[in-house]
């Protein structure tokens, strides 16, 4: 059984998590999260720890940011949009295979802010992750390689800081990105 309580958006996500692992969840009801849910998440974080595992779409990423801002210190699990798509274009944790869910939960990242980040904004520019014609697709791939999910430039920078991505990790992921033909 997973010790932490996993925060998901809805019932279908809970069902998918339970098909993959023995865990308890808190359902937010989508992006319409209320104060009672925030309090439950905060209590869960204090008592057992929390893993935020929202859909890899705009609404899921927004919800992840809202929860992390209100309840700092949560762990986060990520799937790429490709891993969580049903084949018809619908994106959600409920569409991921049990194997991919288990993998994402093994690779959780801890959310804590550091002001002395190893990765600078200039590093992102130099890697073509911002101010580059292909920046969005490059960030998507780097986010997958680093295990921090897809985000816009500002959020990607913040996640590098939050999850203390080292220069070595960043360089290794960048090397893989280039080897895949993202010049």
125-136 pLDDT tens trace: 999 999 899 999
Among 3.40.1360.10, 2.170.150.70, 3.30.1330.20, 3.40.50.300, name the CATH number for the domain at 1-112: 3.40.1360.10
- Residue 112 is predicted with a pLDDT of 58
Among positive and negative, which fits the CA dihedral 67, 70, 76, 82? positive
Tokens 């925030």 correspond to 38
Helix axes 98-106, 11-20, angle to 10 degrees: 80
Nearest to 176 by CA among 135, 143, 131: 143
Nearest to 25 by CA among 47, 62, 46, 51: 51
What is the edge-to-edge ordering of all strands in the sheet holding 5-8? 25-27, 5-8, 50-52, 75-76, 109-110
Domain boundaries, the chain: 1-112, 113-183
Low-confidence ranges of the chain (pLDDT < 50): 114-115
């Amino acid at each position: 059984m997973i010790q932490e309580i996993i925060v998901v958006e809805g019932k279908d996500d809970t069902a998918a998590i339970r098909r993959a692992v023995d865990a308890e969840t808190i359902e937010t009801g989508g992006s319409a999260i209320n104060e009672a849910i925030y309090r439950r998440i905060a209590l869960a974080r204090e008592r057992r720890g929390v893993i935020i595992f929202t859909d890899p779409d705009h609404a899921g990423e927004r919800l992840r940011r809202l929860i992390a801002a209100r309840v700092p210190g949560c762990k986060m699990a990520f799937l790429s949009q490709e891993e969580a798509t049903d084949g018809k274009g619908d994106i959600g944790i409920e569409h991921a295979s049990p194997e991919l869910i288990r993998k994402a939960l093994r690779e959780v990242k801890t959310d804590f802010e550091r002001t002395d980040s190893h990765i600078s904004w200039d590093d992102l520019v130099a890697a073509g992750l911002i101010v580059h014609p292909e920046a969005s697709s490059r960030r998507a791939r780097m986010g997958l390689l680093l295990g921090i999910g897809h985000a816009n430039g500002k959020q990607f920078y913040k996640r590098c800081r939050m999850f203390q991505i080292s220069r070595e990790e960043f360089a290794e992921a960048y090397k893989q990105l280039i080897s895949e033909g993202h010049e």
